[in-house]
Each structure stands twice: as C-alpha cells, then as structure tokens.
Amino acid sequence: MDELYSQYSQIVFYFLYKRCNDPLLAEDLMQETFLKAIESIDSYDENCKISTWLCQIAKHLLYQHWAKDNRVQLEDLDDSYEANTNTEQHAIARIELADVWDKLQKLPLEMKKVVELRVLGDLSYSEIGSMLGISEAKARVTFFRAKMILIKEGNYGKDEL
C-alpha cells in the first residue's frame, strides 16, 4: 500500500483540491481515501485503473463531507433578506445538481467516467485518456456526446453543463 500511496497520492490530492479549493480538507480526505482503499481492496475491479478507483473513493468521501457540512444549523441562520436569498439559491442549485447527477448515473459507464473526471476531477482530455486507456480525441468525443445526452434529457442550456 505504501507503493500505491507514493504513486497515487498526488493524483488523489489534486483531484480533491480542484473540487474543494481547501488544501487541508483535500489532505484529510486524501488520507481517508487510502484508509478506505485498504479496507475495501477486495472490491477493486481490475477492469478500471487504480487511479480511477481511488478518485471514485475520494469523490464519495468529498460528497459525504459536503452533505454533512451543508446541514443548516438553526442558530446560524441570519434573518436578513440576503441570507434567505442565498439559502434559496443554494437550495435550488442543489436540487438542479441532484437532477443532473441522477441523469449522469444513467449514462453508459465509459461516458459517466469521462464526465466525472472532466467535471469533478477538472482533468484535461489528455489526462482522462491516460487514466482510462483511451485517446484524447475519444475522451473529447465521449464528453461531448454525454453532454448532449444530458442537455437533451434535462432541458438544460449548453452553458449550464
């Protein structure tokens, strides 16, 4: 596991940091990712790259953190109009994100992986191609096709995805 950590820790850290913009949180979640990987090494499917598997674990840990972090504490509520507006906008954004996420889960596996790595991992098409063992061009086309499917099924504007 030490070899895996030394080889993939920077990838996992970068993946997390690009999503949360908090180096301390990214570091904590990276450590937790490798702990979870040790616990669930038996569930590793050798059809995907280890880096992809680790980033999936990291992504789920980040979502769990955000879910816990987004619980509204009554004592923290502000009575101002601005706070209410921000809360409403945040709630609407989360509902829309959940809708997109549900539709994303229905995409074919390769499309789903490309979209997740591009959007959640903020990786280049070249990096995605390397991680998934496909060409940069195929990563681009796959992302474009997935985006068109999501736009068609969700009535989203092209700027929203």
pLDDT, tens digit, for every residue of 40-69? 888 787 787 888 888 889 998 988 888 776
Three-state SS annotation for 82-151:
HHHHHHHHHHHHHHHHHHHHHHHHCCCHHHHHHHHHHHHCCCCHHHHHHHHCCCHHHHHHHHHHHHHHHH
Residue 98 has pLDDT above 70, yes or no: no
Rounded mean pLDDT, 10-35: 90
**pLDDT of res. 44:** 80
Rounded mean pLDDT, 112-128: 83
Residue 140 has pLDDT above 90, yes or no: yes
**pLDDT of res. 91:** 62
